[in-house]
Amino acid sequence: MKLDATDLRYMTPEEFRVLTAVEMGSKNHEVVPSALISQISGLRNGGVNKILGGLAKRNLVAKVQNSKYDGYRLTYGGYDYLAMRALSKRDSVYSVGNQIGVGKESDVYVVANSEGHEMVLKLHRLGRVSFRAIKEKRDYLGRRKSASWMYMSRLAAQKEWAFLKVLHEHQFPVPRPIDQARHCILMEFLDAYPLRQIDQVPSPGKLYSQLMDLIVRFAHAGLIHGDFNEFNILVRRDDGEPVVIDFPQMVSTAHENAEWYFNRDVECIRTFFRRRFKYESAIYPRFRNVVGDGSKDDGFLLDVVVEASGFGRREMKVLEQVWVYVSTSTVR
Ligand code: ADP
Ligand code: MG
């Protein structure tokens, strides 16, 4: 999905009002009736329809012919637009560069501020593959009738942002968080390669220990990455130090399946080092030893983080369902 920033500069205040009205209406309508859009935007019916037509042409909204009424829904393009506009209003982002990652559940771009300083913008795109899974779990959605992709993607971004911030504050090797809006997070652009692309390292043993130490450090802080693998570990070009990315699936060490998540993270590293570097060690962390050893040296726990970020247990549960689904399907 292409992110078009040039479009950002050409929108009238009325168009913006209508687009925002579609977003607001989406909170309780899967298809927002034109009359409601007109009501929310405070603009006349005729004018609104014309503007909606224009927005639809630019793929910011899509017209939906419903059995009961005609209406519009916000597209990812429209949601991107609103997020980018928020980021540019705050002077966080000025221009959009190349796409550097296309995940199943996100798009990653290099962007820059007005001084040309490069950063990474990650747009969460939940719903591409996971929408079905979540729809089956309506009990977690409370009063919400549907788990819209917008809501899910925003939750994922908010969760990733909350973790990124707290991990960075506690000196974990993660990108520096810069800003967050809707389904997007803005962070430091690392001059680094994913471990996946690296064929040789000066000392596989050293890197292996660093990564296992990190898993242990996470666990001492009450956290399990949950997707700790060669795709989400970047190695800095200058000093070869590892940096960890991609946090929306993080789980607590108090989670009922914590041991399973922990072992999977450990096994991912062991398997990768065996295959790629022909490196194998008898030393690797075990959940019981790590979590039961009483050395919570980082002094913060997931639950605290979760509460501070305004994340309820219910939201956590909703996202969890998505990640269980994502991690059991094939491509990463
Ligand atoms: P996904 O959820 O799609 O896996 P990731 O957060 O893992 O998204 O990012 C996808 C890819 O984008 C990474 O593998 C990496 O190559 C690149 N990337 C992500 N964040 C950064 C960053 N801060 N600096 C440099 N590259 C990054
Ligand atoms: Mg990833």
Considering just the CA atoms, what is the radius of gyration of the chain in Å?
22
Residue 135, token pair as written in the block: 């729809």
Q: Is residue 102 part of a domain?
A: yes
Q: Please give the C-alpha separations between residue 158 and each of 51, 113, 149, 249, 271, in angstroms, as whole numbers.
A: 31, 22, 14, 12, 31
Amino acid identity of residue 257, one-letter, is: N
Residue 227 among the catalytic residues? yes
Going from the Cα of 123 to the center of ligand 2, the distance in angstroms, rounded, reads 12
Taking CA atoms only, the protein residue closest to ligand 1 atom 14 is 231
Ordered DSSP codes for 162-199? HHHHHHHHTT-S-PPEEEEETTEEEEEPP-EEEGGG--
Name the residue with the closest Cα to ligand 1, atom 10.
101
How many helices and strands in the chain, by DSSP H and E? 11, 13
Give the pLDDT confidence score for residue 212 in this predicted structure. 98
Fill in the DSSP letter of residue 98. E
> How much distance in Å is there from the Cα of 249 to the middle of ligand 1?
14
Pair (213, 318) in one structural domain = yes
What is the number of the ligand closest to the CA of 197? 1
Q: Would the pTM of this model clear 0.90, i.e. be above it?
A: no
Q: Which atom of ligand 1 is nearest to the CA of 104?
A: 3
Domain boundary among 188, 212, 233: 188
Show the low-confidence residues of the chain (pLDDT under 50): 138-140, 142-143, 145-146, 298, 329-332
pLDDT for res 208: 98
> Could you report the per-residue pLDDT of 256-306, keeping only the tens digit for each?
899 999 999 999 999 999 999 999 999 999 999 998 755 555 456 655 665
* Nearest ligand, CA 99: 1
Q: What is the pLDDT of residue 312?
A: 64
Specify the ligand 1 atom closest to the Cα of 245.
6
Contacts of 167 (CB under 8 A, 6+ apart): 174, 247
Angle 78-100-240 (CA atoms, 0-180°, nearest 5)?
140
Residue nearest to atom 4 of ligand 1 (CA): 103
Distance 173 CA to ligand 1 centre (A): 14
Q: Which of 174, 176, 180 is nearest to 188 (CA)?
A: 176
What pLDDT shows up at residue 283? 96
Mark whether 212 and 197 lie in a shared domain. Answer: yes
Residue 42: predicted pLDDT: 94
Does ipTM come in above 0.90? yes
pLDDT at 310: 59
Q: Are residues 243 and 140 in the same domain?
A: no
| Shared domain check, 295 and 223 | yes
CA angle 158, 321, 252 (to 5 degrees): 65
Residues in a beta bridge with 192: 236
Q: What is the pLDDT of residue 28?
A: 85
Rounded distance from Cα 166 to ligand 2 centre (Å): 19
Question: According to the 3-state scheme, what is the secondary structure of 233-246?
Answer: EEEECCCCCEEECC
The confidence score (pLDDT) of residue 262 equals 96
Which of 188, 209, 239 marks a domain boundary?
188
Residue 46: its pLDDT value, please?
Answer: 82
The pLDDT value given to residue 145: 44
The encoded tokens of residue 54 equal 């224009």
Q: Is 205 found in the same domain as 105? A: no
Which CATH number is 14's domain given?
1.10.10.10
- With H, G, I as helix, E, B as strand and everything else as coil, classify residue 97: strand
- Is residue 283 classed as helix, strand or coil in its secondary structure? coil
User: Which of 56, 77, 98 is the last residue in one of the domains?
Assistant: 77
Q: Which CATH number covers residue 262?
A: 1.10.510.10
Residues in the chain, total: 332
pLDDT at position 143: 47
Close Cβ partners of 233 (under 8 Å, ≥ 6 residues apart) = 194, 195, 211, 242, 243, 244, 245
Ligand 2 centre distance from Cα of residue 231 (Å): 6
If one residue of 111, 118, 122 were mutated to test the ligand 1 pocket, choosing by the most ligand atoms within 8 A of its CB, it would be 122
**Residue 93: per-residue pLDDT:** 94
φ, ψ (nearest 5 deg) of residue 250: -55, 145
135 and 204 fall within a common domain? no
Q: Which residues line ligand 1 (CB under 6 A)?
A: 100-101, 103, 105-106, 108, 120, 122, 175, 187-190, 194, 231-232, 245-246
Whether 137 and 241 map to the same domain: the answer is: no
Write the DSSP assignment of 195-233 as a string of letters: GGG----S-HHHHHHHHHHHHHHHHHTTEE-S--STTTE
Mutate to test the pocket of ligand 1, among 1, 99, 108 (most ligand atoms within 8 A of CB): 108
Distance 194 CA to ligand 1 centre (A): 8
Which domain range does residue 129 map to?
90-188
Query: Is there a single domain that holds both residue 208 and residue 281?
Result: yes
Cβ atoms of 226 and 265 within 8 Å: the answer is yes
pLDDT at 296: 54
Number of domains in the chain: 3
Per-residue pLDDT at 7: 57
Ligand nearest to the CA of 190: 1
**Catalytic residue (choose from 91, 199, 213, 227):** 227
Paired tokens of 29 = 């309508």
Confidence at residue 321, expressed as pLDDT on a 0 to 100 scale: 66
